[in-house]
A and B are shown apart, each in its own frame.
Chain A
Amino acid sequence: MAKFAKKKDGDLPAVSTASLPDIVFMLLFFFMTVTTMKDSSLLVENTLPNASEIKKLEKKDRVIYIYVGKPTREYQKVFGTEPKIQLNDKFASIDEVGSYILAERAKKPQELQNVLTTALKVDKNANMGLIADIKQELRKVNALKVNYTTYEGNAFNNLQ
């Protein structure tokens, strides 16, 4: 019965890697669609508090961000350890908040200018005095819709 050709010993067929680029491209497209570009690098510590009664911020183009917190370690020598405000990519003082909001609002399309939300990303160790000042500035420029951005979780974890 010599009809069946015998395989040679130790001759493994090579695994085809031709579809590997397709798999990697699939991964790439997945990450491109589910993530967003980092628009500003954080200069402040930003551990958000937890809350349970939260609402999602749906549309990214209608949100203006304000970061508050202690400067990160490499900036502490220059700026100290008191909580500071970060607007875009730099530290700012309290009286710059109003003009920042107005500038950001002017950049948005006309139809969105009345529905903007200000997202306050505040570190959980910040003091309310600074937040109260920011809120006062926001009221002056009539940016009344705010969102205290938090993580989802049990609010009582904040107290520990």
Chain B
Amino acid sequence: MPRRKGAPEVNAGSMADIAFLLLIFFLVTTTIETDAGLDRMLPPIEPPDTDVIIRQKNIFTVNINKNGQLLVEDQLMDLKDLREAAIAFLENGADGSCNYCKGRRDVSSSDNPSKAIISLKNDRETKYSTYITVQNELVGAYNDLRNREAQRLYNRDFTDMESEYLNPETPSSIRDDLKDKVKRVQDMFPQKLSEAETTSN
């Protein structure tokens, strides 16, 4: 019997078909997910030990009714004006201790940014989309003020610095540097957004 010359060649023509099959399988079973949103902290369930007395003028009340209308400081307001009103309240600085505020120093509004509290109330029948829009505007008001101060101090937007700080791919040397900056700007305008339980009337 004559010996064959070498091993017979394997036909690789169907390799592409197999790879296509795998590709289609992965295309079908996977999704590119949208994972971004508004970060919020809920208040702890146990009440604080000491009763904190907050003066009425330091609270900025926002009420949303079931039709999506806004009642801000007991006055009907359009959603588009909410951000400006919140900014004006936050940097009012009535007691003069806040030297970077550019508010009107109205004595009937908030004392300084660290005392200013925004209180958000909504009805049980408020639509979620309206609620998110209001949340977005209030967070936006804080971000606008923080961006302004970050621009003044570090020539950079706060939101930009924060996202670089939170990104796990940022090298730790840069992150340590950013940590203090982010903390400093955050402390200038601490986010105090309280959410009361919803009412049903």
Contact = CB atoms under 8 A, between A and B. Distances in A.
Interface of A: 17-18, 20-21, 24-25, 27-28, 31-32, 34-38, 48-60, 63, 117, 119, 122-129, 131-132, 135-136, 138-140, 142-152, 155-156, 158-159
Given A28-B26, A131-B128, A147-B39, A53 B31 contact: no
Contact of A55 (B36, B128, B130): B36
Given A24-B16, A24-B23, A36-B33, 20 more contacts: A17-B16, A24-B19, A31-B27, A35-B32, A36-B32, A38-B31, A49-B128, A53-B38, A53-B139, A54-B37, A55-B166, A119-B37, A126-B128, A127-B125, A135-B42, A144-B43, A145-B41, A150-B37, A156-B133, A158-B130
B105 to A, nearest CB: 27
Interface of B: 12-13, 15-16, 19-20, 22-23, 26-27, 29-45, 68, 79-80, 122-133, 135-137, 139-140, 143, 159, 162-163, 166-168, 195, 197-198, 200
Nearest to A138: B42
B43 to A, nearest CB: 7
A35 to B, nearest CB: 3
